[in-house]
Structure 1
Amino acid sequence: MSDAQTLIENRPPSVAALFLERVAATPDAEAYRYPVPSASGQGPDDWKSLTWAQAAERVYAIAAGLIELGVHPEERVALASTTRVEWLLADLGIMCAGAATTTIYPQTNAEESAFILSDSESKVLIAENAEQLAKALDQRAGLPDLHHVVVIDPAGVDGDDFVLTLDELERRGAAYLEEHPQLIKERVGALTKDQLATLIYTSGTTGRPKGVRLPHDNWAYMAKAIASTGLIGPDDVQYLWLPLAHVFGKVLTSGQIEVGHVTAVDGRVDRIIENLPVVQPTYMAAVPRIFEKVYNGVAAKAREGGAAKYKIFQWAAGVAREYARVTQDNFRRTGVHSAPARLAAKHKIADALVYSKIREAFGGRLRACVSGSAALAPEIGYFFAGAGIHILEGYGLTESSAASFVNPGEAYRTGTVGKPLPGTEVRIADDGEILLRGPGIMQGYHKLPEKTAEVLESDGWFHTGDIGELSPDGYLRITDRKKDLIKTSGGKYIAPAEVEGQFKAVCPYVSNILVHGADRNFCTALIALDEEAILKWADENGLQGKSYAEVVAAPQTVEMVDGYVRQLNEGLQRWQTIKKFRLLPRDLDVEHGEITPSLKLKRPVVEREYKHLIEEMYAGTREA
């Protein structure tokens, strides 16, 4: 048996048990780092730390406080908050109480929040602030199971028997622990691997979201499997900003507890650029949109510097991609990242002029990034790889506890999602669908046995709904969502995500793009531009002072984007090419339900919202 198999097979029943082991092993080591606004309210935040022992003191107090409120094993405690250190402490407290966390995105509206609270039968809600509390109070009449709301940030909140602050909960818990000093050890010791740990509601594109039941064993397996890859070690510093209500953010907490490294946590997306040089992470996880924005930002900055500077950037970007392709190919054949002398010389010059500045913006110590949740355009992946920012794409779903595949360190291959984690099995069905089996797979959908039976076979194989192909040596490439494949009226199949990814690598102003063409005789696209990037372009092109909507409606903007569409089409098969496009009057966003909180496109919603633009593009053609 390999070391990885031994590590995985000897896992404890829960991450709560792993947490107790971690605290006992390294009580004085730094566990979490988090920002606190400076005393003056001006200037940068101060960063504070918690050791594992200090974190445990708060976690155990939260756990005991919940028990004192009457929360029993496997009962649900909902958590509606942005990513912050209290989210991590509360989630661990819930698990150490033997209860299960129901995650709710803070952007979720009151009606859907109420549905999740009701469907999960959550007994307690831990809400970030007055805004999250208000949603629960608005719907309180329809939530007979909800007995208490605990508020993390109490500003503007009036307490009563129903509402208490997190500080109060911790004080009550600490007092309860004095009377019952063995309480936490007993609760954690009683946990079994099949008990529910987490209930995550998938943000479905149609209908109500489904609650995915993830037992304690899923997270214990993930902790051990991630550690066994060797991708992270005890000296790492992780920068965690992803939404913890999403499975991708949540799984990162399990690996950290097993390995024992530092996590710096701050979910404010607008602070990422500011935080990176302060935190100086060695690794971080992100979704493709973040890398697209960084790439577009670097390109825009170069363009602002004048024609010569932009030409240098374009040359350096080309060198980066070529260098990444060549070195990855050579590593595949020889086990060594090498490049011909002439390319290596060009790369060294480009590094001094361009790449080193990009690495500094990421904090200067970044060893690798993990990208997931959606496909990263290979051209953007190759650019960063060549610049020394190694993006290891991974793959998984809420139903598989997020991390089913990840690229293996130095042997990573851009354009693939790597190899399965130890203990996870994969096979490709006859129609190309990816099937998974292993300890990371969910128990099923909460109170939806028919929906569970649609995707989970009796022998444990889970139907992902994604189409992919495996290389002879086990690397997986995702080609598309099964339900998103387009079949034109001419009978040709098109993977829209592939075309959309290529456009994002070509056009530095795009934010979101949706390719349409099902049952049509040609493809069209709806394109939303990045507001910051396009308004800078507008200032340089005679459109100063115009609003976003006015800029995207301007003929010169349409003409500029048309140039990028033509450039895209040059690299596509004839039936894949974009014949017509429309620029959207605003960017797609979570608030309008057009993208998920993890920044995935909700195709049916966008197509329904902009049906008039789609029909306009096909009007007057033979099929109209």
Structure 2
Amino acid sequence: MRQSNRIAAAAATLPHLLSQRAQEMPNRVAIREKVLGIWKGTSWAEYERKVRDFALVLKSLGFQRGDRLAIASDDTPEWLIADIAIQSLGGVTVGVYPTNPWLELQYILQHSRCRFVICGDQEQTDKVLDASRNGDGLPEVEKIIVVDPRGVRQYDDPRLLFWEDLVAQVDRDQADRLWSKNLATIGPGDIGVIVYTSGTTGKPKGAQLSHRNLLHSAAALVRVYGLNADNYSVLCYLPLCHVAERICSINLHCLTGGTVNFAESIDTVDTNIREIGPTVFLGMPRVWEKHRLRALIGLNEGKRFQKWLFERVFARIRQRVERQLRDGHTTWPETLGERLEMLLADALIFRAMKRHMGLDHSLVRICGGAPVSPETLLFFAVLGLPVFQVYGLTESGGITFVQHRGAMRAGAAGAPIDGVEYRLAEDDEIEIRSPTVFHGYLFDPDATAKVLSSDGWLSTGDIAERTEDGKEIRIVDRKKEIIITSGGKNIAPSELENALKESVYIREAIILGDQRHFVAALIQINMDSVGKWAQDRGLAYTNYRSLSQLPEVHELVSGEVERANSSLARVESIRKFVILSKELDHDDGELTATQKVKRAFVEKKYATEIARIYGKEPA
């Protein structure tokens, strides 16, 4: 699409972009979902029509400019429709993770003072009703709109309304008039979204983001990666209340005019990605680590010759790729010999692996959200699928630094996008000023003042350093998570944790050592790979707990710890470890909704295990 046909991101809102797409490409598929086993498409014109209709529904129910509406749902087309309809009315969308228990949902709805809630199904409706009946309840919630009515219609609550009933009554002419009026009254500086932070160290805070905040970074990605309607196809599977999925499935979607494909569920992502073959794929570190692990497990279960051939070819190409990543160059072959070598490797081995992962059509692969194992990134680069790391946070509107083929040093997090200024404070905390920086935390001026200066500089809380060529930044760790040993040595736990997680047998690691004499770790084994390892050796187990307690498994993990130690400085070496007897879980309060470890909570919960490591040594 020509630049002249686009609304400049600096002057756009999502409703304006949707309207333009419906005019320019009315019959092109915008959204696809699987219905009764068949992928069904919705055109841009249909998409806009549904948004217009639902905007009128909300208006008729009393929704006003500035009101906040919470969406508690898995990813569905209705999520997108509601989101843009809300913003077209000058309202604000508040996303709630579908995995949040009712207590966390209650806090978000109470704090944001939402008058309306959209629930995807019976499970989410039950949580809203539980939150209404317990504690301080939800006195400000007036309407509960349910998308999937199965199991809910018999509920006796006057606030309950049903999506399909509401949209069936819409007057199309009235909806069109309201839509035109709305577009004339909203602007890029309006707050459109409140994203509640994951809350690793306390209650989540509501970050207020305007259209400009969100669309600026998305527009930069369009330019950097050359995205357009013809080459943009994504699989929507991460929670839409997360700023990263918003960027891909809403902002980039409207900017490019491409296609969003909805995964059936989180359990079918692996199948759906193979069916869709997305051209752009965003994954958190766990996703990329899981892809690598499954590929390696599949290789080990294959024929011996295939494994031998893979190891030989991988080792040969790895040398070149390591050099290129070290220098920050592209990971594609450069000479004719290298290209022929890569074509042969692809035909013999790599192509089948790419197809099995569903990445054989991918043009852009992105990793963000947390540090990722260098070994994982190297694995994909060798396969000819370089993964670009990006950096940003909710308060910065999502992505502010991106890697691309001209800037992708190993371990770095990219170069700043257009319009982003950054500096390193005296303690090396990275500070950002840009059009992406948020408008402060909802109802929390004190917390806002701690991170946002009067002249617009955002304190990120991340310790960073510049790469050797000065093009990119390298994130060392969260400022609050830096470990200082009793000997005064500063240690970034994420580097050590990633060194451990390079092992296919280790799923999660929590590094200990703050004000201690030595470094230790709590380790969660990978149930799939360790279980397969145990089966191959005839070791009996019934569940994760019994598997984790096998002495042979302890010996296996001990070898992996020693392997990690070989790449670490002596003062960073992990001297002791304990294998956790259960998997970390969001429902148990050990992980955030985005699967980040709540370090302080975990250390408190597993005080007994930590005491086994350090004995009577005081913390």
TM interval, short-chain normalised: over 0.9
Change (3 A) 1:180 1:31: closer
Residue 164 of structure 1 corresponds to which residue in structure 2?
161
**2:555 aligned with 1:522, yes or no?**
no
RMSD: 2.4
Identity %: 32
CA distance in 2 between partners of 1:459 and 1:211 (Å): 21
Aligned residue type for 1:91 = D
Residue 55 of structure 2 corresponds to which residue in structure 1?
63
Residue 32 of structure 2 corresponds to which residue in structure 1?
33
TM-score when normalising by structure 1? 0.92
Residue 294 of structure 2 corresponds to which residue in structure 1?
297
Residue 244 of structure 2 corresponds to which residue in structure 1?
248
Residue 543 of structure 1 corresponds to which residue in structure 2?
539
1:370: Cα distance to partner?
0.8
Residue 190 of structure 1 corresponds to which residue in structure 2?
185
Aligned length: 609
Residue 97 of structure 1 corresponds to which residue in structure 2?
89
What SS does the aligned partner of 1:18 have? helix
Residue 454 of structure 2 corresponds to which residue in structure 1?
458
1:353: Cα distance to partner?
4.1
1:389: Cα distance to partner?
1.5
1:222: Cα distance to partner?
3.2
**2:428 aligned with 1:432, yes or no?**
yes
User: 1:172-571, aligned counterparts within 5 Å?
Assistant: 172=169, 174-175=170-171, 177-179=172-174, 181-235=176-230, 236-252=232-248, 253-266=250-263, 268-305=265-302, 309-328=306-325, 332=329, 337-338=332-333, 347=342, 350-363=345-358, 364-409=360-405, 411-471=407-467, 472-505=469-502, 507-571=503-567
Change (3 A) 1:119 1:256: same
1:401: Cα distance to partner?
1.3
CA distance in 2 between partners of 1:414 and 1:147 (Å): 51
CA distance in 2 between partners of 1:336 and 1:282 (Å): 18
User: Which deviates more from structure 2 when the two are superposed, residues 413-422 or residues 491-500?
Assistant: 413-422
Alignment counterpart, residue 127 of structure 1, candidates 106, 115, 119: 119
**2:579 aligned with 1:583, yes or no?**
yes
CA distance in 1 between partners of 2:150 and 2:275 (Å): 28
Q: Is the 8 A contact 2:34 2:264 kept in 1?
A: no
User: Which deviates more from structure 2 when the two are superposed, residues 85-94 or residues 490-499?
Assistant: 85-94
1:328: Cα distance to partner?
4.1
User: Which deviates more from structure 2 when the two are superposed, residues 291-300 or residues 446-455?
Assistant: 291-300
CA distance in 1 between partners of 2:12 and 2:609 (Å): 53
What SS does the aligned partner of 2:610 have? helix
Instruction: Give deviations 1:532-559, integer Å, cap 9, x for gaps.
Output: 2222222112224532211110000000
Q: Is the 8 A contact 1:456 1:463 kept in 2?
A: yes
Instruction: Give deviations 1:490-528, integer Å, cap 9, x for gaps.
Output: 1111111011112222x1121111111111111111111
**2:70 aligned with 1:82, yes or no?**
no
Aligned residue type for 1:97 = L
Instruction: Give deviations 1:347-401, integer Å, cap 9, x for gaps.
Output: 5554344322221123321112111111111121011011011211111111111
What SS does the aligned partner of 1:206 have? coil
CA distance in 2 between partners of 1:8 and 1:590 (Å): 41
Aligned residue type for 1:587 = E
1:179: Cα distance to partner?
3.3
Instruction: Give deviations 1:231-281, integer Å, cap 9, x for gaps.
Output: 422212112211111111112120110111111122622212211221011
Residue 42 of structure 1 corresponds to which residue in structure 2?
none
Instruction: Give deviations 1:550-593, integer Å, cap 9, x for gaps.
Output: 11100000001111111111111001111111111121122112
Q: Is the 8 A contact 2:513 2:519 kept in 1?
A: yes
Residue 15 of structure 2 corresponds to which residue in structure 1?
16
Change (3 A) 1:20 1:348: closer
Q: Is the 8 A contact 1:419 1:474 kept in 2?
A: yes
Q: Is the 8 A contact 2:437 2:458 kept in 1?
A: yes
Q: Is the 8 A contact 2:33 2:264 kept in 1?
A: no
Aligned residue type for 2:57 = G
Change (3 A) 1:307 1:552: farther
1:413: Cα distance to partner?
3.1
CA distance in 2 between partners of 1:11 and 1:548 (Å): 51
User: Which deviates more from structure 2 when the two are superposed, residues 452-461 or residues 537-546?
Assistant: 537-546
Q: Is the 8 A contact 2:407 2:471 kept in 1?
A: no
Instruction: Give deviations 1:189-223, integer Å, cap 9, x for gaps.
Output: 20133322111111212332111111222123234
CA distance in 2 between partners of 1:316 and 1:478 (Å): 32
Change (3 A) 1:618 1:246: same
What SS does the aligned partner of 1:413 have? coil
Change (3 A) 1:340 1:576: farther
CA distance in 1 between partners of 2:202 and 2:325 (Å): 43
1:331: Cα distance to partner?
6.9
Residue 110 of structure 1 corresponds to which residue in structure 2?
102
Change (3 A) 1:267 1:589: farther
